[in-house]
Amino acid sequence: MIFPAYVQSMIEKLRDAGFTAYAVGGCVRDTFLGRTPNDWDVTTSAKPEETMAVFSDAPFTVYAANGLKHGTVTVSLDGESCEITTYRTEGTYSDHRRPDEVHFVTDIRDDLSRRDFTVNAMAAAPRADGSFDLVDPFGGREDLAAGLLRAVGDPVKRFTEDALRILRGIRFASRYGFTVDPDTARAMHECAPLLEEIAPERIGDEMRGILKAPHCKRILTQFEDIAGRLFPACSVSLLPVGNASLTARLSCLLAPLSPEEAERLLLHYAFGSSAAKTVSCFLRFREAELARHDVRCAVADQIGRENMDDFFAFRRALAPADTALVAHKSATLALFADGVCYNTATLAVRGADLLVAGIPASPKIGQILAALTRDVIAGKYKNDRDTLLRAAIADYSSVSSVPSD
Ligand code: ATP
Ligand code: MG
């Protein structure tokens, strides 16, 4: 187990000051898995004020902003920072999410027992001889080796305290390909109704993590009841198995919904208006006939070049046997070449050209441009400035009584 230099310095400094301290949680799990942790967290017997005193001098910098009442102090060294939290247990949970209060304790085992899964409830610290101490009271290392996700303690009790753990569990299993221990899985299904009390943006965060993870289809198939509770009428079976972006996966999951309902749900779960719009747009073109040039132009116009790979990944997931999609994709991408018209913005004439040509400013200008776009897409005219100006003037003269004086 290799600790980054800044983490090792912080743990040693706390130990030199007479406290105990360990790296804990996700960083220990990920290191054992041979992965690079997102961040390193340290847990210590020092109370927050004591931690602040230990790191009060250079080269360390201490920040103790909003985490302080939960015992967290952020310490940085050489531009790297680490959250250092006092060993704590949690009080009662009246909202199925956050403890009503936290209690500082002196035994690390008590701190580990409040953590969600055995693989997340391990703590490790470097020894002088290069080896390390491991505190693993719930068999996390063995579960990790067996690829098993198991709640710490009584799973029903743990998911009742904090229902978000259900989604965290699905996320970890999806990310690492773990099997969920049967008792833990049963409790996840049983406690799922409590998810209604979790803030939608937290649910959205976890869903994003789940859908980005490689094993999401298998795990969501096991927990289809939970997926369906969060996204009514969604279809886990349409999720692609290989690599696919979050947008493509979300669109597949929500493919059975109406575009409006999908957009509403994504906004509710705080996926952001851009993702919500893109997904709802994909759903509008869920069954569009891509063999038609005018349909491909509408796809190019409304979905945009930047989303085209995701859109075709979505269409491929819905119709894996449709071999024509490859050709439809190239034909659609070809629309983005210079000089090709697929919408009013790519038409070879603009409103200003029509004004210069003597057509007076009025809403009719917009109608003429829309009609020319339709005609170019339909193949009636080439996308050529002179051709289009002539057509516009002829069309305008034939339907307007041009004032003559
Ligand atoms: P990630 O790689 O996603 O950051 P992580 O395990 O580090 O995974 P964090 O949310 O960063 O997850 O939390 C750090 C640690 O805090 C976890 O490993 C776990 O021990 C504990 N923890 C976090 N959230 C909860 C929770 N809701 N209930 C119980 N323990 C939790
Ligand atoms: Mg983390």
Per-residue pLDDT of the chain (405 residues; tens, 9 = 90+): 899 999 999 999 999 999 999 999 999 999 999 999 999 999 999 999 999 999 999 899 998 877 788 889 999 999 999 999 999 998 777 777 777 788 999 999 999 999 999 999 999 999 989 899 999 999 999 999 999 999 999 999 999 999 999 999 999 999 999 999 999 999 999 999 999 999 999 999 999 999 999 999 999 999 999 999 999 999 999 999 888 999 999 999 999 999 999 999 999 999 999 999 999 999 999 999 999 999 999 999 999 999 999 999 999 999 999 999 999 999 999 999 999 999 999 999 999 999 998 888 888 899 999 999 999 999 999 999 999 999 998 887 776 554 544
CA-closest residue to ligand 1 atom 12: 26
Q: What pLDDT is attached to residue 243?
A: 87
Distance in angstroms (rounded) separating the CA atoms of residues 204 and 341: 38
pLDDT confidence of residue 405: 44
Ligand 1 nearest atom to the CA of residue 30, by list position: 2
Q: Which atom of ligand 1 is nearest to the CA of 116?
A: 29
Pocket test for ligand 1, best of 108, 168, 178 (most atoms within 8 A of CB): 168
CB atoms within 10 A of CB 192: 19
Ligand 2 centre from 110 Cα, in Å? 20
- Rounded Cα distance between 314 and 301, Å, is 18
Pocket test for ligand 1, best of 120, 170, 212 (most atoms within 8 A of CB): 120
CATH of 5-145, one of 3.30.460.10, 3.30.420.40, 3.40.50.970, 2.40.160.100: 3.30.460.10
Nearest CA to ligand 1 atom 6: 26
At 361 the pLDDT is 87
In CATH terms, the fold of domain 155-336 is cca-adding enzyme, domain 2 (1.10.3090)
Q: What is the per-residue pLDDT for 402?
A: 47
Taking alpha carbons only, the member of 208, 161, 218, 213 closest to residue 187 is 161
Give, for ligand 1, the residue of 29, 116, 197, 205 to mutate: max count of ligand atoms closer than 8 Å to Cβ.
Answer: 116
- Contact indicator for 26, 37 with CB cutoff of 8 Å: yes
Amino acid 308 reads M
User: With respect to CATH, is domain 344-401 assigned 1.10.620?
Assistant: no
Q: Which residues line ligand 1 (CB under 6 A)?
A: 25-26, 38, 41, 115-116, 120-121, 162, 164-165, 168
- Nearest ligand 1 atom to the CA of 161 is 28
Which helix (H) or strand (E) element contains residue 24?
Answer: strand 21-24
Of all protein residues, whose CA lies closest to atom 16 belonging to ligand 1? 25
Amino acid at 86: T
Q: What is the pLDDT of residue 399?
A: 64
Q: What was the pLDDT predicted at 400?
A: 57
* Alpha carbons 3 and 77: distance in angstroms, whole number: 14
Residue nearest to atom 1 of ligand 1 (CA): 26
Q: Hey, where are the domains in the chain?
A: 5-145, 155-336, 344-401
Q: How far from the centroid of its chain's Cα atoms is residue 170's Cα?
A: 14
